[in-house]
Amino acid sequence: MSRLGDLILLERTRQKLTRKQVAKKCGVSEGYLKDVEEGRRIIQDDQARRILNKLGTSSRNEAEFSLDEIAATVDLGTLAPAPKPVQQPAAKPEPVKPVKSASPEEQSGIWLDALSSVLRPVPVMNAGWIQVSRRMVPIQDGKIEGAKPDKVVYFLAPDDSMRAMRIEKGDLVLVVPQTLPVDGAIMLVEYGAHRCLRRVKLLGNSNILLQSGDRELGAESVHISDVKLVGRAVRVEIAL
């Protein structure tokens, strides 16, 4: 999912609006809005800014954003309960103590509580399995792409070995856990002391074909016991 799609989905969810309502309000089709929110369509900054303005917020032109930056699209006043009025005895009124404003740490906690049911941070791992950043990803029914949020990762494509399958160096591939081979799926595998992306084909007799290729497809037949399957690729975010 793109950052602009994240912001549109977050604001629409916060206002409890359906895609149909937002699409009608912004003059776009419901299918177009769905593709933008799910990262299948690249949206221009001016178009995203127009949609966000219609929803009552604005966008910034950065590739990444933090929890604090996302939280800036939410009104804390709608999350923090208003202080109850202090009722004073009629006979002996006492001065009302001022309500202490929330500290930055307390405000951060409010953001996290409010966003935890909508977005979760997903780590971005490189080929050495070192976290290099993280991305905010929407969750549905407590899961991301049907998997537990803490088991999902982004894999940063280290080279162009999967260009023939439209995955290039620097692209982010969302991976969900999967330890059994899925015929025809692009999977994250550990093979020869390296983690890499390969398309898997079942050959029978416990053998699988690992396909890759820059401009032309190549393949290597291996026994299933010689490779560790980490997960299945479900989505790709391209690097521009």
CA distance 23 to 136: 23
CA distance 139 to 137: 6
222-236 mean pLDDT: 92
39-57, pLDDT tens digit by residue? 888 777 778 888 888 877 6
Range of the domain at 68: 3-77
Which pLDDT value is given to residue 75?
Answer: 40
Is 90 exceeded by the pLDDT of residue 110?
no
CA distances for 41 relative to 48, 186, 190, angstroms: 12, 21, 31
Q: Label residue 145 exposed, middle or buried (CB < 10 Å: 0-12, 13-18, 19+).
A: middle
CA distance 181 to 222: 12
Examine the domain organization and report whether 127 and 66 are in the same domain.
no
Sequence-ordered alpha helix ranges (H) in 45-190: 45-54, 67-71, 104-115
DSSP 54: H
Is 70 exceeded by the pLDDT of residue 58?
no
Examine the domain organization and report whether 129 and 232 are in the same domain.
yes
Is 70 exceeded by the pLDDT of residue 118?
yes
Examine the domain organization and report whether 141 and 221 are in the same domain.
yes
Is residue 84 domain-resident? Answer: no
Q: Are 27 and 67 in contact (CB under 8 A)?
A: no
Which pLDDT value is given to residue 71?
Answer: 44
Examine the domain organization and report whether 65 and 127 are in the same domain.
no
At 53, give phi and psi (nearest 5°): -65, -40
Strand partners, 195: 190
- Measured over the CA atoms of residue 97, residue 101, residue 103 and residue 107, the dihedral's sign is positive
Is residue 202 domain-resident? Answer: yes
CB atoms within 10 A of CB 178: 18
CATH number for position 205: 2.10.109.10
153-179, pLDDT tens digit by residue? 999 999 999 998 889 999 999 999 999
Is residue 150 domain-resident? Answer: yes
Examine the domain organization and report whether 73 and 124 are in the same domain.
no
CA distance 23 to 79: 26
187 or 55, which is more confident: 187
Which pLDDT value is given to residue 123?
Answer: 94
Examine the domain organization and report whether 134 and 54 are in the same domain.
no
Mean model confidence pLDDT for the chain: 79
Q: Which range has highest mean pLDDT (10-14, 81-85, 147-151)?
A: 147-151
Query: How do beta strands 186-191 and 194-204 pair?
Result: antiparallel
Is residue 218 domain-resident? Answer: yes
What percentage of the chain carries pLDDT values higher than 90? 32
**Structural domain count, the chain:** 2
CA angle, 119 as apex, 25 and 230 as ends, to 5°?
125
Query: How do beta strands 194-204 and 153-156 pair?
Result: unpaired
Examine the domain organization and report whether 197 and 132 are in the same domain.
yes
Examine the domain organization and report whether 72 and 134 are in the same domain.
no
Strand partners, 177: 231
Task: Give the pLDDT band (50/70/90) at residue 98.
Answer: low
Examine the domain organization and report whether 69 and 162 are in the same domain.
no
Examine the domain organization and report whether 135 and 186 are in the same domain.
yes
Task: Give the pLDDT band (50/70/90) at residue 140.
Answer: confident
Is residue 96 domain-resident? Answer: no
Strand partners, 235: 174
